[in-house]
Amino acid sequence: MKPQSYDIDRVGILGAGPFGVALGSMLAKGGRPVTIWSTTESIVESINGEHTCDRLPGHELPAGLVASADLEEVTSKARFLVLAVSSESAYDRLHKLGNVADTSHIAVHAIGALAPERDRRITELIAEETPILRSGVIAGPSMAADIAAGRTTSLVCASEFDEVTHESRRLLSVPSKMRLYRSRDVVGAELASALSGAYTIAVGLADGLEVGIGIRAVLITRAISEMTLLGTALGGAAKTFSGLAGLGNLLVRSAVESDRISPSYRLGRELVKGKATVQGEGTRAAIAALRLARGQNLSLPILEMIVSVMSGEVTAQEASVQIFETVTEEE
């Protein structure tokens, strides 16, 4: 496809999940032209006609936020694209994007940093499945509920290309609502984002078992240690895992406020009750990360415990002993 003439101020958001809709709403309220792509016609009609979306209930969307089911239409208007789809559907969506994008597009992804079954980072898939040359990741302690409610929040944009981080800050920053920080550690930011979701399950599990706030705190510090061990083995920088994409992300996802409870944290609590596991970003990240860890011959006890409980190999109660031994063994 030949490069086209784009609206350089428009943001194209690929995916109408809670995060994508919340981000689009915030940007549109800040005066930024935004087009959301969704494959579900009813969602497109609801956003355009009623200014609502059942993926983000209770929030009226601004008139400046428009939706389309035509991916080519979205990419023909917006040069800057935010991939806001689950890791499970990322490969399929990127394959479709590859048919309509060109080398002048810029893309950052915001959800599902590890593609399941392939154990590939999403920026790797962008390079493999699309002609897009400049990509990056946005990650950090920003929940859809906070963004939609207009609470002040922040993200980090990681890319090896200065133009990606510059355009991300220019287009996604909204004064007093959203601040973006820059990083060149793409590998670290992607892994930290994915792993924070996986380890959030462990925090939910610990809270459900009522291990106490002291053990909870040590569990989080040990989780960051494990994340850093795996992340640096795969090429990430250690400091990234103690920053916004890692520790910041984990702390926010582990929040217990009713309007901020993340699916991964909720899953951890439900595992204590013996409920069936629900596939989500945290579960997919945990399984993929464990395969990567074993490929590096690394022993990550907390991650192994998470996967064991999800697979039914051990109960949450049996895992509580392992949690205690893991987090009190050493500092």
pLDDT in tens, the chain (331 residues): 444 678 899 999 999 999 999 999 999 999 999 999 999 999 999 999 999 999 999 899 999 999 999 999 999 999 999 999 988 889 999 999 999 999 999 999 998 778 766 778 999 999 999 999 999 999 999 999 899 999 999 999 999 999 999 999 999 999 889 999 999 999 999 999 999 999 999 999 999 999 889 889 999 999 999 999 999 999 999 999 999 999 999 999 998 876 678 899 999 999 998 875 567 889 999 999 999 999 999 999 999 999 999 988 888 888 777 666 666 555 5
**Among 161, 184, 207, where does a domain finish?**
184
Residue 203 lies in a domain: yes
Nearest CA among 135, 184, 182 for reference residue 160: 184
Cβ 292 vs Cβ 119: under 8 Å: yes
Residue ranges making up the domain that contains 41: 7-184
Q: Do 40 and 178 lie in a common domain?
A: yes
Query: What CATH number is attached to the domain comprising 157?
Result: 3.40.50.720
**Among 184, 211, 246, where does a domain finish?**
184
Q: Do 268 and 280 lie in a common domain?
A: yes
Residue 86 lies in a domain: yes
Continuous H helices in the chain: 18-29, 41-45, 71-77, 87-98, 122-129, 144-148, 162-172, 186-208, 213-233, 238-241, 249-253, 263-272, 281-295, 301-311, 316-328
Number of domains comprising the chain: 2
Q: Do 141 and 173 lie in a common domain?
A: yes
Q: Do 14 and 148 lie in a common domain?
A: yes
Q: Do 23 and 140 lie in a common domain?
A: yes
**Among 150, 184, 218, where does a domain finish?**
184
Residue 1 lies in a domain: no
